[in-house]
Structure 1
Amino acid sequence: MSIAYLCRYDAATAAEELEILRAVIGEPIVMGPPHGDLDEAALAAVEIAVVANPAPGILARMPGLGLIQSLWAGVDGLLADRTIPPAVPLARLVDPLLATAMAEAVVAHVMALHRQLPAYREQQAVRRWQRLAQPFAAECPVGILGLGEMGRAAIDLLRPLGFPILGWSRSAGADALARLQAEARIVVNLLPLTAETCHILAAPFLSRLRAGAALINFGRGGHQVVPDILAALDAGRLSHAVLDVFETEPLPDDSPLWRHPKVTVTPHVAAETDAVSAARCTAANIAAFRAGRPVAGLVDRAKGY
């Protein structure tokens, strides 16, 4: 039985990632399609598939598959492939370094919004010297949508800075969400993308936010409805939006988000996977799987994460 690596990166990146996986895991790993040809016998011999956006349908051709280990924290793309064998355990990447990187990005942009850097940038563009009233962190509640590894890591960095935290996950219920919407000056989305959270950042949600709140979306592009966000910005319901993820990436040149003065666009860089750390987490999960121990990040397919 073998381990196969399946990705749709460019050939050079795929080869580099494969070498890291081989070095860290310490055993042969075969390259699957599209960068490596595996006949039906080789596909049948695959015990563990390590994947990063694999080609749809390829996992269904592996009858001996016992574990699918994703190198990404989000699995919405994988779950969209309805051919994935339903009985095979699927694990998402749970990497402390990834959570730390996300928490750093959240703190950086929360602080920038809290200290009104976008407003000062606008003033600089027109050479206006004007001091803005500056509240303390204790007067700036931050709402965190999503209380998984990344949400908890972000909260752990924000709290010592004095920001009151309003956290929400799907299990918290409507009352907790309503309180977050009413009180938070900055809302940070870190939710997984599921059928229930798809397009959550739309007019019904935005209309209930505290007037002048700012929005940070570090979740998925599928969470946001861009026309609704732009309308909320133009109406003053939102003061600023920091968007790192988009339904079409790279963001098209003609997107109005590029030009809007109250939008900060970043190119899906809030938390990038470290290949060596991800390989170490993968190696630990493979060892746990083979020893019959619990696998980290096991996905509940009914919930979508």
Structure 2
Amino acid sequence: MTFIYKAEPTRGKIWADLFAQKAPDIDFRVWPNIGDPKKVRFLTVWEPPENISEQFPNLEILFSIGAGVDQINFETLPKHLPVVRMIEPGLTQSMCEYVLWAVLSIHRDMPTYHRQQDRKVWKALRVWPANKRRVGVMGLGRLGQVVLNQLRLMNFRCLGWSRTAKQIEGVPTFHGTDLLGSFLSQCDTLVCLIPLTQSTKGILNRDVFSLMPEGASLVHVGRGEHLEPKDLIEALDSGRLSEAILDVTSPEPLPADDPLWSHPKVIVTPHIASMTQPETAIDTVLENIRRFEQGQPLIGLVDRDRGY
């Protein structure tokens, strides 16, 4: 059987070396070197190739290289083809690191100190204990739950929101549109980790910001299309929000003339909050192949109706 990798080619070489070590019986190939397309059973992608069913008639699993699948057009895929998003320890760990850095930076006023440094101002600000800060995580999938656990260890007052009801020990949770306002009203810092679907596009908008406490902050690590940038800038300029740390934008890369680059209360990073780590990702992929061949449930199997 053949396994095709169609994503960033430099990492593809790392995947090839690891497959040779851990699964030498699998014919691993990096796109566009596909070999005999009839032998291709597994395909890992960021974006699938066109005419996938015609090109690979015996394809059995489509793996997403990332945790999200919003970049995949499901209408072009065979309905029977399982799509699996990436759930692996390295990606989760890097997301935790980024969110902790962002929340702690806001909590300890680092953006303000950077602005003061630009003006050569030496001025100390009051240090508040973490248990005085309320951090809300929007999106309670695996990433959101692990992030919440790490924030709790730092003694932040945590709460969470999701589309459907979730129970997390020690964390007040809210769900659905009816409870979104109650959740937002308690978020001194809002962390966006929800999947991108038709219903969540533009969810970070003027209405949402108006429901947050005055002077609250945003950490956005979901997808760029979740955010209405003009509404964010308006909220920052009015003082409704005090800071925003954005790892995702729309489009990406962010154009050089976009006002988010130069806004004094915005920090932009180039979609690096979490990255799939080849060493641990391959273990997850191989485990899913084993599960598939034994008829067991797949880790990260996408529900097409939900879109994640």
Structure 1 position 30, deviation (Å): 4.5
In the alignment, what sits opposite 1:211? 214
Please, which runs of 5 or more residues in structure 1 have no aligned partner?
none
1:56 aligns with 2:50: yes
Q: Write the deviation string for residues 165-202 of structure 1: whole angstroms up to 9, x where unpaired.
A: 11001111234321221111000001111111111112
- The answer on whether the counterparts of 2:191 and 2:220 sit within 8 Å (CA) in structure 1 is yes
Query: Over aligned residue pairs, what C-alpha RMSD do you find?
Result: 1.8
In the alignment, what sits opposite 1:274? 277
- The answer on whether the counterparts of 1:8 and 1:54 sit within 8 Å (CA) in structure 2 is no
Change (3 A) 1:59 1:144: farther
In the alignment, what sits opposite 2:136? 143
Structure 1 position 37, deviation (Å): 4.8
In the alignment, what sits opposite 1:36? 33
Q: Structure 2: how far apart are the matches of 1:250 and 1:240?
A: 21
What amino acid is aligned across from residue 14 of structure 1 in structure 2? Answer: G
118-127 or 21-30, larger mean C-alpha shift: 21-30
Change (3 A) 1:23 1:181: same
What amino acid is aligned across from residue 21 of structure 1 in structure 2? Answer: F
Q: Structure 2: how far apart are the matches of 1:208 and 1:159?
A: 24
1:26 aligns with 2:24: yes
Structure 1 position 227, deviation (Å): 1.4
Change (3 A) 1:263 1:299: same
Aligned residue pairs, count: 298
1:88 aligns with 2:87: no
Q: Secondary structure at the match of 2:77?
A: coil
Q: Structure 1: how far apart are the matches of 2:81 and 2:48?
A: 16
Q: Structure 1: how far apart are the matches of 2:243 and 2:250?
A: 20
Q: Structure 2: how far apart are the matches of 1:131 and 1:122?
A: 13
Identity within the alignment, %: 36
The aligned runs of 1:56-205 (5 Å cut-off) are 56-78=50-72, 80-171=73-164, 172-205=175-208
**Which of 40, 45, 57 is 2:39 aligned to?**
45
1:15 aligns with 2:9: no
Q: Structure 1: how far apart are the matches of 2:238 and 2:113?
A: 20
Structure 1 position 68, deviation (Å): 1.6
Structure 1 position 60, deviation (Å): 4.8
Structure 1 position 45, deviation (Å): 2.9
Structure 1 position 56, deviation (Å): 3.3
Q: Structure 2: how far apart are the matches of 1:241 and 1:60?
A: 45
Change (3 A) 1:147 1:259: same
Q: Write the deviation string for residues 40-93 of structure 1: whole angstroms up to 9, x where unpaired.
A: xx3233222222323233355322222222221111112x25211111111111
Q: Structure 1: how far apart are the matches of 2:30 and 2:249?
A: 28
Q: Secondary structure at the match of 1:267?
A: coil
TM-score by length of 2: 0.91
Q: Secondary structure at the match of 1:207?
A: helix
Please, which runs of 5 or more residues in structure 2 have no aligned partner?
165-174
TM-score by length of 1: 0.91
- The answer on whether the counterparts of 1:91 and 1:296 sit within 8 Å (CA) in structure 2 is yes
Q: Structure 1: how far apart are the matches of 2:141 and 2:217?
A: 22
- The answer on whether the counterparts of 1:143 and 1:186 sit within 8 Å (CA) in structure 2 is yes
Structure 1 position 4, deviation (Å): 2.8
In the alignment, what sits opposite 1:4? 3
Structure 1 position 6, deviation (Å): 3.8
